[in-house]
């Protein structure tokens, strides 16, 4: 444990960006090595999923958690599976610039590189055999990876069950970002959790984490089968989730019979090679990946019931429309302003209400808090602000930060939303500089940094909690993306920032709190040079 904690701390320190140097990365982008954005398994069956599934038009973002009749999982067919995946991990559009063409997906990813892979473990659906499937988003289909034996409780149990397994291909992002890529891979996983949570909720279901050791998850998903990944880039086991009706009791673990079925199943398929040229090796990524693997205890959920009022009203816009139109803004106009009520509503959606989407899918005690650079918010001074996401942590934050900060409650802030005003100033230049000199952090209405309870989390929960902090940050980012779209503006996640310069700006002198992710919200400027095409025009089916 001590050695693995040391590896995690060393990795985090050595992958920080500094004013005089960036974290180790490629000297240039070798386009001959650019990874294929789509994993495929050759020599197996591809089951086409329908593209014509019409989502309910009255499923609004603000109504996802209202009581309504749940469709039983047993009644699910291919249209329901298609909707779940299309509106979470599927394609949202194609972009064309000159001779270049690339796909966008419903879930964001650092550099649009998409390290996350998705598997379904299914029992009791009439439309599909009991077994394990890989989701192929380009084809919008399921690749059959394994069929379960019929002589087992997994197949005889009358309950229908759908498990979602997530894994990562670190090489996809290491190709561009080098050693810092492990951080971005984990942020992508947080976005994927959010995307699946919203898509499940739109169908009257919820998503919950399942306790499983990393090695067991690799066995269940078949990604530890060296014969199936010969010469292909490996995948790391990350997370297992269960889709279930809201009224069902939470079940945090899976039966050993699932794993026995995976061990004895009839496996099919050969993973494709994503880069044909020899890879540049980044050994520290594999090292920190091994150090953060989970043991038999699985995920250590420490849920704290928040005593919060109902969420502030959200604009009534269809969730599927927001999912498909979500984009990472490349530039902001730098004009206009945002009403403070809109800001409060967006921040309120970031409070962890365990009974609300998407926090019901990650009912963990909040360990990430927000530092905000407010540029153009009506009724609030420009300056530096802080939002603690759980009670009483502001005392610890205040003791750790600069003495000269004001710590006044922002004007008009709701009682349950303690937005602290720390400093009045024009923060545009500071936000731009700290976010690797990117103008999107300054030309927005506001930008923010996500401060993690770093030391205390690692000391309490061990090295496996390191990626979980990034998952929480990515989940916050995903909420912000959809809330921004609902408010008629746009967001962008920022993974590049000068870590310790952010901490010094706040007066933080040690690793008690660490910044993991930045985000910015504003009025996006469109690029007329880009052509947008429908997501599945390349497929000739309904």
Residue 244 belongs to a domain with what CATH number? 3.40.109.10
Residue 96 pLDDT exceeds 60:
yes
Domain check: are 280 and 333 in the same one?
no
In a domain, 2, yes or no: no
- pLDDT tens for 15-69 read 999 999 999 999 999 998 999 999 999 999 999 999 876 555 568 998 888 855 5
pLDDT at position 304, please? 63
**How are beta strands 100-105 and 91-97 bridged, if at all?**
antiparallel
In a domain, 343, yes or no: yes
Q: CA 359, 9, 185 angle in degrees (round to 5)?
A: 50
Domain check: are 384 and 488 in the same one?
yes
Location of structure tokens 């040391």: 6
Q: Is the separation of the CB atoms in 110 and 516 below 8 Å?
A: no
Residue 249 pLDDT exceeds 80:
no
In a domain, 242, yes or no: yes
Domain check: are 254 and 347 in the same one?
no
Residue 201 pLDDT exceeds 80:
yes
Domain check: are 90 and 163 in the same one?
yes
Location of structure tokens 């290491």: 174
In a domain, 446, yes or no: yes
Task: Please state, in angstroms and rounded to a whole number, the distance separating the CA atoms of residues 171 and 188.
Answer: 14
Q: CA 215, 245, 82 angle in degrees (round to 5)?
A: 75
Q: Is the separation of the CB atoms in 521 and 442 below 8 Å?
A: no
In a domain, 310, yes or no: no
Domain check: are 249 and 341 in the same one?
no
Nearest in space to 426 (alpha carbons), one of 475, 456, 381: 381
Nearest in space to 493 (alpha carbons), one of 326, 256, 298: 326
DSSP conformation class of 483? H
Q: What is the end-to-end Cα distance of the chain in Å, rounded?
A: 52
- pLDDT tens for 344-354 read 999 999 999 98
- Indicate if the alpha-carbon torsion angle 244, 248, 250, 251 is positive or negative: negative
Task: Give the domain-ending residue among 291, 306, 338.
Answer: 291
- Enclosing domain of residue 405: 328-522
Q: Is the separation of the CB atoms in 311 and 353 below 8 Å?
A: yes
The two tokens of residue 420 are 């602290």
Strand, helix or coil at 246?
Answer: coil
Task: Give the domain-ending residue among 235, 265, 291.
Answer: 291
Domain check: are 259 and 359 in the same one?
no
Task: Please state, in angstroms and rounded to a whole number, the distance separating the CA atoms of residues 275 and 32.
Answer: 8
Location of structure tokens 């067919």: 77
In a domain, 527, yes or no: no
Q: Is 291 exposed, middle or buried (0-12, 13-18, 19+ CB in 10 A)?
A: buried
What are the Cα distances from residue 91, in Å, to 33, 313, 323, 501, 536? 23, 29, 10, 37, 7
Domain check: are 253 and 337 in the same one?
no
Q: What's phi and psi for 318, nearest 5 deg?
A: -60, 130
Domain check: are 359 and 248 in the same one?
no
Q: How confident is the model at residue 158 (pLDDT cuts 50, 70, 90)?
A: low
- Indicate if the alpha-carbon torsion angle 440, 443, 445, 449 is positive or negative: positive
Nearest in space to 176 (alpha carbons), one of 288, 39, 326, 279: 279
pLDDT at position 157, please? 61
Residue 153 pLDDT exceeds 60:
no
Domain check: are 335 and 238 in the same one?
no
Q: Is the separation of the CB atoms in 414 and 311 below 8 Å?
A: no
pTM: 0.96
Quick one: what percent of the chain has pLDDT higher than 90?
82
Q: Is 520 exposed, middle or buried (0-12, 13-18, 19+ CB in 10 A)?
A: buried
Domain check: are 100 and 242 in the same one?
yes
Q: Is the separation of the CB atoms in 329 and 175 below 8 Å?
A: no
In a domain, 44, yes or no: yes
Cis peptide before 358 (omega within 30 of 0): yes
Name which of 286-300, 302-316, 335-349, 509-523 the model is least confident about: 302-316
Task: Please state, in angstroms and rounded to a whole number, the distance separating the CA atoms of residues 240 and 298.
Answer: 10
In a domain, 434, yes or no: yes
Domain check: are 213 and 348 in the same one?
no
DSSP conformation class of 531? E
Domain check: are 234 and 347 in the same one?
no
- How many separate domains does the chain show? 2
pLDDT at position 97, please? 93
Location of structure tokens 């984009």: 327
């Amino acid at each position: 444990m001590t050695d693995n904690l040391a590896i995690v701390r060393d990795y985090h320190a050595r992958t920080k960006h500094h004013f005089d140097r960036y974290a180790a990365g490629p000297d240039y982008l070798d386009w001959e090595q650019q990874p294929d954005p789509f994993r495929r398994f050759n020599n197996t069956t591809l089951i086409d999923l329908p593209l014509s599934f019409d989502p309910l038009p009255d499923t609004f973002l603000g109504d996802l958690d209202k009581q309504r009749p749940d469709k039983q999982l047993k009644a699910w067919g291919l249209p329901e599976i298609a909707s779940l995946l299309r509106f979470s991990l599927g394609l949202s559009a194609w972009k064309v610039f000159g001779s270049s063409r690339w796909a966008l997906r419903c879930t964001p990813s650092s550099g649009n590189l998409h390290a996350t892979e998705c598997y379904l473990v299914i029992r009791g659906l009439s439309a599909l055999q009991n077994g394990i499937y890989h989701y192929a988003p380009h084809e919008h289909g399921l690749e059959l990876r394994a069929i379960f034996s019929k002589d087992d409780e997994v197949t005889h149990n009358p309950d229908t069950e759908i498990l979602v397994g997530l894994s990562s291909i670190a090489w996809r992002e290491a190709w561009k970002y080098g050693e810092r890529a492990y951080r971005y891979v984990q942020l992508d996983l947080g976005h994927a959790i959010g995307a699946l949570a919203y898509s499940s909720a739109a169908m009257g279901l919820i998503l919950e984490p399942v306790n499983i050791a990393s090695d067991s998850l690799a066995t269940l998903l078949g990604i530890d089968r060296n014969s199936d990944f010969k010469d292909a880039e490996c995948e790391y086991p990350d997370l297992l989730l269960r889709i279930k009706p809201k009224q069902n009791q939470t079940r945090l673990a899976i039966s050993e019979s699932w794993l026995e079925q995976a061990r004895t199943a009839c496996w099919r398929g050969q993973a494709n090679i994503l880069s044909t040229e020899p890879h540049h090796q980044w050994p520290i990524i594999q090292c920190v990946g091994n150090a953060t693997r989970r043991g038999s205890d699985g995920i250590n959920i420490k849920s704290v019931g928040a005593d919060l009022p109902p969420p502030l009203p959200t604009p009534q816009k269809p969730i599927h429309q927001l999912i498909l139109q979500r984009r990472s803004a490349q530039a902001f106009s730098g004009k206009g302003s945002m009403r403070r009520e809109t800001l409060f509503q967006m921040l309120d959606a970031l409070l962890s209400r365990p009974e609300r989407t998407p926090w019901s899918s990650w009912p963990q005690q909040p360990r990430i808090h927000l530092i905000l650079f407010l540029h153009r918010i009506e009724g609030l001074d420009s300056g530096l602000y802080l939002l603690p996401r759980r009670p009483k942590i502001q005392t610890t934050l205040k003791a750790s930060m600069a003495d000269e900060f004001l710590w006044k409650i922002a004007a008009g802030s709701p009682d349950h939303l303690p937005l602290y005003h720390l400093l009045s100033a024009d923060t545009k230049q500071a936000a731009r500089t700290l976010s690797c000199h990117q103008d999107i952090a300054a030309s927005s209405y506001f930008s923010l940094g996500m401060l993690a309870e770093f030391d205390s989390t690692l000391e309490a929960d061990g090295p496996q909690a390191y990626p979980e902090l990034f998952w929480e940050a990515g989940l916050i980012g995903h909420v912000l993306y959809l809330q921004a779209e609902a408010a008629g503006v746009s967001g962008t996640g920022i993974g590049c920032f000068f870590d310790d310069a952010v901490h010094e700006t706040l007066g933080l002198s040690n690793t008690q709190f660490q910044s993991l992710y930045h985000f910015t919200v504003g009025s996006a400027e469109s690029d007329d040079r880009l052509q947008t095409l429908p997501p599945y025009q390349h497929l000739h089916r309904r």
